[in-house]
Amino acid sequence: ADVVVHDALVGERVLELIPAHAERIDVGKRAGQTILQEQISTLLVELGQQGKNVVRLKGGDPFVFGRGGEEALALRAAGIPFTVVPGITSSVAAPAAAGIPVTHRGVAAAFTVVTGHRRNGDPEIDWRSLAAVGGTIVILMGVRNRRKIAAELIAGGLDPATAVAAIQSATTDEQVVGRCQLADLGSIEVVTPAVLVVGAVAAFELSEIRTLVGSQSA
């Protein structure tokens, strides 16, 4: 690659694999740095028009709340060829890293993945309807609104004692798994980035990948 355009959630160990000759452009959205999605799409188009070989590096899967679809549409409109490389979405990777199966026979036959963050003007998530669906609810980007989310799910019929897991910095050395009941979700400390898992499976502790992080294969 000539240029690697990466997000904030891409781990430093991954970034260290980028060849020294490649230009690195950080377009991560975080406190103190706000880059509009339109600016990122424009940047990708401009780099493509310059004939650069560009890697757009994202955490998870680019088409699961990664806004990869918007970037792909911009590239297609500009006539710039691209290839999408599937990733492993944090909505299943984070629970697995915490020993939580999002589905389990006799416990959860389905799971719903939903964003807990909405832009101004976007329709609100109907949490009460989600509560009635059943199965496991996996919430991405929901830490800031977790108190409201919990209240709406309970208002929709979920038992306040429903198990919840908050998986912080999944699959890294800093991975922490917090567990509580749904009624207490708003009061426990959760640090981003974190994935919230709501449902009976959140009480499972089948294994934890944390002990394997940094270990060497035999």
Which residue out of 2, 26, 52, 141 is catalytically annotated? 141
Is residue 7 among the annotated active site residues? Answer: yes
The catalytic position among 2, 7, 52, 126 is 7
Q: Give yes or no: 2 in active site.
A: no
Q: Quick check: 213 and 98 in contact, CB under 8 A?
A: no
CB atoms within 10 A of CB 148: 13
Distance CA(57)–CA(5), nearest Å, equals 6
Which entry of 2, 26, 29, 52 is annotated as an active-site residue?
29
DSSP string, 87-131: ---HHHHHHHHTT--S-BTTTBS-EEEEES---TTSPPP-HHHHH
Both structure tokens of 151: 């209240």
> How many angstroms separate the CA atoms of 53 and 1, rounded?
5
At 169, list the tokens: 């910095």
184 a catalytic residue: no
What residues are annotated to the active site? Answer: 7, 29, 141
